[in-house]
Structure 1
Amino acid sequence: MFLEDITLKNDTRCLFLFFLFLISCGKKDKEYADNVYAYSEFPQEKELKGEVIELDTALFRYPFRIRIEGDKAIVMDLHGSDCYGHLFQYPSFQYLSSFGSRGDSPTEMLSMENFRFHNHKVWTLDANKSELTRLDYSSSGDSLLREEAVTLDEDILRPLDFAIYNDTTVIVPDYSGENRFCWINHNGKLINKSGSIPSANEEALQNTRPALAQAWRSFLDYNPHNGTLAAVTQLGEVIEVYNLKDSTHVVRIGDHGEPEFKISDGYGIPVGIMGFSDVQVTDSAIYTVFHGTTFKDIVRQSGRLPDGGKYIYVFSLEGEPKCKYVLDHYIYSIWVDEVTKTVIATDVNSDQPIVKFSFG
């Protein structure tokens, strides 16, 4: 190779890196705040093979959420025909009972967006009724009984997820677009609002905040042990990490960028990709389910693509990427036990939808 060829290649490489530097600096300085950082790679990448857990009963139409506490597991069916919640013994996954009857009577539910364990009780969110419901275990421990339901303030626009902050307060995303979160007491009253959508879309921030808030629909989890609240976007690739003990806030944006949308009749129509579908904050890390499927591919394949994500992304409690797990199943929701190095996940594509992964 001639010396001038080597020099030309080095000059070209330097010029390319210089342009990348200018682009990255421009994004950080002109578009995003100082607490927003890009990520593209994970220090570790591993493959995980799942073990299907055989259930002795067919219950689910769309097993959207799974949570486990002690010797009880609950799986939420987003499109449940009769009930939205199903209680199992853990780890055997012996079916115990169902709760959250579907219907429009005062004691029934029109929807269930999520549920949470708190103080050995279960809280559920019905967005269609704008209602939080508290349930307690029966004396035998094999069923859940409805204790109380509270209606949320009219100022709270259709909450699609929630996290329990403490004995008196829950957190829901603010879909008005004015702030990021609404803080609500257990009587359903709005206490205050906090934060803002960390978008670089200035036009949407000024003119179409509700549509922007829809596009930034996020799934939440909060760990009271370390004070970490995490929010991950259903569209795009954004994870927000709030340390509520020291009031720090970090935003990490992956290669797919922030949520993309178009405006049609005042509503935000998603474009770009399907992003995250679940998040869990443990005592030492943040675990997320990531899809990465483009809406163009979803339309082009016309229902032939598996539904869900085949990746578990793990971040530190400061939002730094730690590990990328590549799965042999497409999943929607996870529950992580760091002591036993186990992930229990839901697979909406299978008649046997509970899958166990071991990591370590």
Structure 2
Amino acid sequence: MKTCTDILLIVLLVSACASAPEKGIPYNDFPVTEQLSGQTVPLDTAIFRFPYRIRVQGDTVAILDLHASEHFIQLFHYPDFSYIASLGRRGDSPEDMLSAENLRWDGNSLWTLDANKSQLTRYGLSLSGDSLLREEVVSLDKEILRALDFVVYDDSTFIVPDYSGESRFCWVNRKGKLLRKMGEIPSANEEALMQARPALAQAWRSFIDYNPRNGVLAAVTQLGEVLEIYNLKDSTHVVRIGPHGEPKFKVAEGYGIPTGIMGFCDVQVTDSAIYAVFQGRTFKEIAEATQRGDMTDGGWYVYVFSLEGMPLRKLLLEHYVHSVWLDEQKGIMITVDVNQDEPITKFHIN
């Protein structure tokens, strides 16, 4: 019976890709919920203010500190997390960064995004192999509205979300020039699509990830509960909408003001699945907690989907996390938590 159900769901997914992906395919829950307990990874120094993203490549870990006072990026050896170096100095000089939104490994190179400067910066491995050096800067085309995320598609192309409301993504070359736009916001809000696309694009801000090995680009909404999957190898597009629905907002002076829930806060596409950190707290709940002095941020849950968008399982963690990195072969998940003095936790998953 389960096989028949899975076949029916696959048929529905393919049908949605071919006909009206903007309506999406709802999911209500996950077939399996697993509660996980992790192990805190000790660090020899406390250097984070807001550890926002974790990325691992080989034997090196890069952690982005969103509100860093001196350096936005900290490098560690993996798996022992011994300190290596600090990158991305915060400041006003030409080589400094004004902000840091995300970072991506590309082989031995590490790319970072500075939204305030509209720049992507590449750090390459030094000759000694024990640090990264600033080697390349890409200034983004002025047609691209304040990029807040990016992925490296190949050695000559980046993909960034489009916040103009005209499309879903911008393809950008290694010189920062806009090549083309792709996709549409899959919203059922026809009024906003007709009259308030920029505000709609703000409300649909998404976190993205891309896996070049399987060609899957995933986007999860910061508000509401929407997962989009673009398979760039076969050009299929799947939209999954959870119980909290698409992002809810009201328009005030041209801006989208959120009114629903905080949704996803990170996503990773592995070789076999999509992992997304989910919050699910209403803005009313967040405001009430803030009044009590509770500034907790992040999500308790990691949702796991197949590469085709089928819900597989829900991981319930023992504390809030903001970003995850998966090593499926070893069955390890590393998380960062902005609320803890010791922010790194290792979980074992099956």
- Say whether the fold is shared (TM-score over 0.5): yes
After TM superposition, list the pairs within 5 Å mapping 1:69-218 onto structure 2.
69-218=57-206
Distance 1:34 1:333 in 2: 27
After TM superposition, list the pairs within 5 Å mapping 1:34-53 onto structure 2.
36-53=24-41
- Quick one: which of 325, 330, 343 aligns to 1:353? 343
The 8 Å contact of residues 169 and 183 in structure 1, kept in 2 or not, is answered as yes
Query: Aligned AA for 1:353?
Result: P
- Quick one: which of 310, 313, 317 aligns to 2:300? 310
Deviation at 1:35, TM superposition (A): 6.6
Distance 1:34 1:105 in 2: 44
SS in 1 for 2:154: coil
The 8 Å contact of residues 35 and 249 in structure 1, kept in 2 or not, is answered as no
- Quick one: which of 335, 341, 344 aligns to 2:334? 344
Distance 1:297 1:343 in 2: 28
- The superposition leaves residues 263-320 of structure 1 with CA deviations (integer Å, 9 ceiling, x where unpaired) of 1221111111110011000000001100001100001111415211000000000011
- The superposition leaves residues 144-191 of structure 1 with CA deviations (integer Å, 9 ceiling, x where unpaired) of 110011110000000000011111100000000000000000110000
SS in 2 for 1:205: helix
- Dislocated runs of 4+, deviation >3 Å: 32-35
Deviation at 1:120, TM superposition (A): 1.3
User: Number of residue pairs matched?
Assistant: 330
Distance 1:153 1:345 in 2: 33
The 8 Å contact of residues 346 and 353 in structure 1, kept in 2 or not, is answered as yes
Distance 2:188 2:72 in 1: 37
- Quick one: which of 318, 321, 324 aligns to 2:314? 324
- Equivalent residue number for residue 24 of structure 1: none
Q: Which moved more, 1:247-256 or 1:119-128?
A: 119-128
Give the TM-score normalised by the residue count of structure 2: 0.93
- The superposition leaves residues 87-131 of structure 1 with CA deviations (integer Å, 9 ceiling, x where unpaired) of 000000001110000011110001111011112101111000000
Computed over aligned residues only, the root mean square deviation of the Cα atoms, in angstroms, reads: 1.2
Deviation at 1:34, TM superposition (A): 7.1
Unaligned runs of 5+ in 2: 1-15
SS in 1 for 2:192: helix
Query: Aligned AA for 2:335?
Result: A
Give the TM-score normalised by the residue count of structure 1: 0.90
SS in 1 for 2:49: coil
- Equivalent residue number for residue 300 of structure 1: 288
SS in 1 for 2:25: strand
Distance 2:124 2:250 in 1: 43
Distance 1:191 1:253 in 2: 30
- Equivalent residue number for residue 333 of structure 1: 323
The 8 Å contact of residues 35 and 250 in structure 1, kept in 2 or not, is answered as no
The 8 Å contact of residues 50 and 329 in structure 1, kept in 2 or not, is answered as no
Query: Aligned AA for 1:304?
Result: D
Distance 1:91 1:290 in 2: 26
Distance 2:167 2:36 in 1: 38
Aligned sequence identity (%)? 62
Distance 1:314 1:245 in 2: 22
